[in-house]
Structure 1
Amino acid sequence: MYRCVIISIILYCVLSRTTLCSYVDPQFEACKPQTCGNQSISYPFYIQYKQEPFCGYPGFGISCDSNGFPVLNLSYTPYIIHQIFYHNQSLRVSNAAFSSTNTTTADYCISLTRNLTLPSTKIFTLVHQNYNKDILLFFGCNLSSLPTESTNYRIGCSEANNKTGGSFLALYKDDVKTVSSVSKSCGRSGEVVQAGVEESEGGGIQEALRRGFMLNWNASDCKPCSSSGGRCGFNVTMYFFQCYCTDRIHASRCVIPDGRSKASMKIGLALGLAAAVILLLVMVTYYTRWKKENSKHHLVDAFLERHGHLQIKRYSYSEMKKVTNSFKNKLGQGGFGSVYKGQLQDGRHVAVKILSELKGDGDDFINEVASMSRTSHVNIIALLGFCFQGSKRALVYEFMPNGSLEKLIYEENAVIGDRQLDCQTLYDIAIGVARGLEYLHKGCNTRILHFDIKPHNILLDENFLPKISDFGLAKICTRKESIVSIFGARGTAGYIAPEVFSRNFGVVSHKSDVYSYGMMVLEMVGRRKNIKAEVDASNEIYFPYWIHNRLVSNQELGLQNIRNEYDNEMVRKMTIVSLWCIQTKPSTRPSISKVVEMLEGRTELLQLPPKPYWFSPSNSP
């Protein structure tokens, strides 16, 4: 009887979603309004490294300075936010260079190197009003040759003025007479440093500079969501607004059940425990399955609808059968599904990946399409099309005749066609993969972190040119983001950077891809898995530890296919670079651009990295 009561309560929670159930969507919780100084921070703004980026609109990340003021970076220049007016989407800001709490000339300094230009963005626009004025800043002014009245506008401390060879003068642009006389006596003509300021009655021009000017912002409207009890956010991956509610994510507003629905649920609960148990077994199973599948398809459909401009073709499932000749030529199979060889109408050979299931909320499928539709690089596999029809999902790629790198590096004396997989070929592949990663990290419109770099995901064309594939775990972020937030570990065991599965090692960033790349290159060098490597008949240790000891003691590496000194130099260079890449702390690893530079540079200029404790035999995987 007791069990029946518990089950009935669970049923009531599932159907009515009252506060008794106490379930709150985690993204709703994560996007609580925060405070910075005396400012309330909520959508479209979010506090970087304190709130998740999905709580705000792209470009609206702010930081709190040491004085507790919110700071917004516009055109690489910090601006202090004095007031935010959410009701009419405006805010008052001032250039941080003029926002000192003490504006006396003894304490107030400006650097000539600071960028003082006005922000120029699509999402923020200046508010121009009739009574507003623009302020000009002049550099390197000789006070002795200026009219006496103009020196009243001098700003900057005397020490800074002496170092830079002159004073700084700030003038209202409409003070034509003074501007004309000053411009002849200053080393650099006036630049508009603040526009639309209100002329200060007390405190002079410095007070006007500190008070700043008004900006309007342009972002998705939050009112329908907030008025329904939700919290606003933005999905950067699929690039559309979403409303976080206590139960789940909604498109624009939360669905609030009316009084009749709640009353009917309570009456239904009173009909009897026996009926509740039966209904629980049927409804919970159906509801869970329906919600899971429906939410997946809803998200994928929403993404495809909003990205109808994608430069790739959408195929029907019947077209996929025709392209692959009813899936006759199978190339391989993995946890994701199967890959088949096919041919398009124009004669091009393709590889068709048929996905066995839509994992999570469809993230794998969305990530693959979203990431690869943004890329175009010689070392990135080309996505030519996709299929999303009911439960059928497929991705169409260019065909790579030499398969994956994994199939080659573990075969002794591997030969394909008339070409052997020698040291030069491995070296070219290593550089090609690094250039592909560099493009993902720096060359795209958005920064893409792959999170699954390994030999299996490096494909080779007919000329052994490497191409990075499989973007199912990728993370898309803005160009300025270097640190990302992910829920749980992602990647393949043996290649996952330490910080991805434990934040105690550091933050997750583009350096996590560098670690995976380093582990992969070590496998290419050793032509074996990095888990263990034989040293002699009776002793086995972790391969990176073994090869690091060889380099330190300047011993011969004794690896396969090293035929001459040139081969030895290439392998040594790849080894040193990869050991730098797999340093335990992300801050110690090079960026992927630095990796390319090191691989293309001279071996004798490379220093041996320290041996991280991750390499100790007792702690090795």
Structure 2
Amino acid sequence: MNFHFAIIPILCSVLLPIAYSHEDNEQFLECNKTFNCGLIQEIGYPFWSIARPRYCGHGGLEFELICEDNQFPVININDQRFRVLNMSQPGIISIAPVDIWQNPCPQQFHNLSLTHHLCDFSTTIRNLSVFYGCPLETDIPEENRFTCAGINGNNIYAYYLDETLLRMHSSDLVDCNTSIILPVNQNELVQLLSGNDTIDDAWNKGFNVMYHKDIISCIACRNSGGVCGSNNTTLEFLCFCRDNPHPQFCQAPVLQSLSYPFWNDDRPQVCKEEGFGLTKCDEPHPVINISGKEFRLIHVNQAAYTMTIAPEDLWGNICLDNPINITLGNPFLSFSHTVRNLSFFYHCNATALMETIKIPPSPNHIFGCPQEYSFWM
């Protein structure tokens, strides 16, 4: 199993309540509001709906939510309609196909696929093959069989199999009328095959999908006091701030009246302490170079001799090609006693990982990088 591994100290931030004024930007005020649909509450970026302006989400149709009957949020992906069941995890939603909701015997049959560049199946998804219009097959376990009503009123047999059972019984199912492949969550597949759940339960619990559109940019925007949104014309990400929209984050400076040991090119040579030079000072969070590695300077408490920093290469992009451990090679610096290490695993083989570790990563720890399985612990 080939993967990259990095130990990275991560800063923590707390968002405080904001008092709004009449001078605040209209888009900032509008997009700060979320909307509800049935049991799904406080829906925000990247989603939008008739109750939330398009520019408050990612403006593409892929993230439009239709609130059917004022209680069922529905999203369209690849011209297929899905009911949204849960969106409590950042970057992950749980969805179920509308045409088989509470009905394992649909009128039309088609595989479920996610070929869109904005979203992908969660790495905990497993494929379930369902065969319809089959003769009675006694070699296939009875618990994997259910019936559907035929055209003439007679029941016809249907079977569901995971990858292992499919390899064992594929030759027994050649006389079935049709088959489809449906994704299910790993935990639900275990419940289904153990007999604790029925095929109806598996259908109705849906499966997890990761959406990876500007999630990191949105976090940076929110941390700067902004609200996430997009350009209605280009669909590019925008951070709506109190004054105006900005490409990434709000431009309110957070570092003022810095003195020794910090410096930039405007200060005399005598004021310069090696290792504390700042660049990009026109941005809200300037850059400090520590032992050859760049960090964003988030906050400085000169009275307590502490500063809060974040790795520059992770700034706005958590998916790294060549991750390295974060260390401080400056003899004048040390980590605060409140710092804890997070281990990031990149480019993992999901199948091999599931076979070699006893406890798989929590879905909350998985983050979506294109064409790879990555998580933190």
Per the shorter chain, which TM-score range? 0.5 to 0.7
Residue 212 to residue 20, structure 1, CA distance change in 2 (3 Å):
closer
Asked whether 1:27 is paired with 2:27, we answer: yes
Residue aligned with 1:222, SS = helix
Shift of 1:152: 3.5
- Residue ranges of structure 1 left out of the alignment (5+ in a row): 1-17, 101-107, 262-621
Residue from 159, 165, 170 that aligns with 1:180: 170
Q: Distance in 1 between matches of 2:44 and 2:20?
A: 28
Asked whether 1:147 is paired with 2:174, we answer: no
1:446-461 correspondence to structure 2 within 5 Å: none
The amino acid across from 1:119 in the alignment is: L
1:284-303 correspondence to structure 2 within 5 Å: none
Asked whether 1:73 is paired with 2:66, we answer: no
Corresponding position of 1:168 = 158
Shift of 1:167: 3.8
Residue 36 to residue 133, structure 1, CA distance change in 2 (3 Å):
same
Residue 99 to residue 135, structure 1, CA distance change in 2 (3 Å):
same
The amino acid across from 1:226 in the alignment is: R
Shift of 1:212: 2.5
Corresponding position of 1:99 = 101
Task: Render the CA deviation track for 1:312-364: whole Å, top value 9, x for unaligned.
Answer: xxxxxxxxxxxxxxxxxxxxxxxxxxxxxxxxxxxxxxxxxxxxxxxxxxxxx
CA contact (8 A) 1:234 1:241 kept: yes
Shift of 1:194: 1.6
Shift of 1:186: 0.9
Q: How many residues align?
A: 229
Residue from 99, 115, 120 that aligns with 1:120: 115
Residue aligned with 2:164, SS = coil
Task: Render the CA deviation track for 1:144-188: whole Å, top value 9, x for unaligned.
Answer: x32175453345653x56469844332223213664254133112
Q: Which has the higher contact order (CA 8 A, sep 6+)?
A: 2
Which is worse superposed, 223-232 or 193-202?
Answer: 193-202
CA RMSD between the two structures: 3.2
Q: Distance in 2 between matches of 1:162 and 1:67?
A: 37
Asked whether 1:232 is paired with 2:234, we answer: no
The amino acid across from 1:29 in the alignment is: L
Q: Distance in 2 between matches of 1:30 and 1:114?
A: 41
Residue aligned with 1:185, SS = coil
Residue 259 to residue 120, structure 1, CA distance change in 2 (3 Å):
closer
Shift of 1:112: 3.4
1:474-485 correspondence to structure 2 within 5 Å: none
1:241-280 correspondence to structure 2 within 5 Å: 241-256=237-252
Residue 191 to residue 211, structure 1, CA distance change in 2 (3 Å):
same
Residue 36 to residue 67, structure 1, CA distance change in 2 (3 Å):
closer
Larger Rg: 1
Corresponding position of 1:136 = 129
Q: Distance in 2 between matches of 1:20 and 1:109?
A: 50
Shift of 1:115: 3.5
The amino acid across from 2:96 in the alignment is: S
Residue aligned with 1:94, SS = strand
Corresponding position of 2:362 = none
Residue aligned with 2:170, SS = helix
Corresponding position of 2:46 = 44
CA contact (8 A) 1:25 1:245 kept: yes
TM, length-normalised to structure 1: 0.33
Shift of 1:140: 1.7
Residue 115 to residue 28, structure 1, CA distance change in 2 (3 Å):
farther
The amino acid across from 2:79 in the alignment is: Y
Residue from 222, 228, 234 that aligns with 2:218: 222
The amino acid across from 1:153 in the alignment is: N
Residue aligned with 2:29, SS = helix
The amino acid across from 1:235 in the alignment is: N
Residue 140 to residue 41, structure 1, CA distance change in 2 (3 Å):
same
Q: Distance in 2 between matches of 1:76 and 1:21?
A: 42
Shift of 1:123: 1.0
The amino acid across from 1:97 in the alignment is: D
CA contact (8 A) 1:173 1:179 kept: no
Asked whether 1:212 is paired with 2:203, we answer: no
Q: Distance in 2 between matches of 1:117 and 1:19?
A: 45
Q: Distance in 2 between matches of 1:174 and 1:72?
A: 32
TM, length-normalised to structure 2: 0.53
The amino acid across from 2:208 in the alignment is: M
CA contact (8 A) 2:63 2:75 kept: yes
Residue 157 to residue 20, structure 1, CA distance change in 2 (3 Å):
closer
Q: Distance in 2 between matches of 1:70 and 1:185?
A: 38
Which is worse superposed, 170-179 or 71-80?
Answer: 170-179
Runs of 4+ in 1 over 3 A off after TM superposition: 18-21, 148-157, 160-168, 176-179, 255-261
- Residue ranges of structure 2 left out of the alignment (5+ in a row): 1-17, 258-377
Shift of 1:83: 2.0
Q: Distance in 2 between matches of 1:23 and 1:56?
A: 23
CA contact (8 A) 2:148 2:155 kept: no
Q: Distance in 2 between matches of 1:24 and 1:86?
A: 30
Q: Distance in 1 between matches of 2:146 and 2:69?
A: 24
Residue 232 to residue 19, structure 1, CA distance change in 2 (3 Å):
closer
CA contact (8 A) 1:77 1:116 kept: no
Q: Distance in 2 between matches of 1:99 and 1:21?
A: 46
Q: Distance in 2 between matches of 1:68 and 1:213?
A: 20
Q: Distance in 1 between matches of 2:70 and 2:164?
A: 34
Q: Distance in 2 between matches of 1:78 and 1:175?
A: 29
Task: Render the CA deviation track for 1:276-300: whole Å, top value 9, x for unaligned.
Answer: xxxxxxxxxxxxxxxxxxxxxxxxx
Q: Distance in 1 between matches of 2:167 and 2:210?
A: 32
The amino acid across from 1:249 in the alignment is: P
CA contact (8 A) 2:129 2:160 kept: yes
